[in-house]
């Protein structure tokens, strides 16, 4: 990947994270990236997500934690914008 593209995509991810949950720390951006990619995989290839969940039950639980955290942060962020 070109360095310029990588920087531009990082800026997109930073803005998306900020709009979604109200912050864009490195840890939060990583969680948002993981959440977004997993959500896309689960919707576009549900059999693959199901297979992965069965193969790695501990990772599935970690994914649930990330999903719930993103959801909670999003709800809090939306509540503060009212």
By residue range, what is the domain housing residue 58? 3-80
The reported pTM is 0.88
* pLDDT tens profile 14-47: 999 999 999 999 999 999 999 999 999 999 999 9
Looking at the structure of the chain, the number of domains it has is 1
* Ramachandran angles phi, psi of 28, nearest 5°: -65, -45
Rounded Cα distance, 49 and 76, in Å: 28
Rounded Cα distance, 61 and 19, in Å: 26
* pLDDT reported for residue 82: 74
């Amino acid at each position: 990947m070109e360095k310029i593209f990588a920087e531009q995509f990082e800026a997109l991810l930073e803005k998306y994270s900020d709009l979604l949950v109200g912050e864009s720390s490195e840890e939060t951006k990583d969680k948002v990236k993981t959440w977004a990619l997993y959500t896309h995989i689960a919707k576009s290839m549900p059999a693959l997500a199901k297979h992965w969940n069965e193969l790695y039950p501990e990772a599935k639980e970690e994914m649930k934690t990330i999903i719930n955290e993103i959801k909670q942060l999003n709800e809090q962020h939306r509540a503060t914008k009212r």
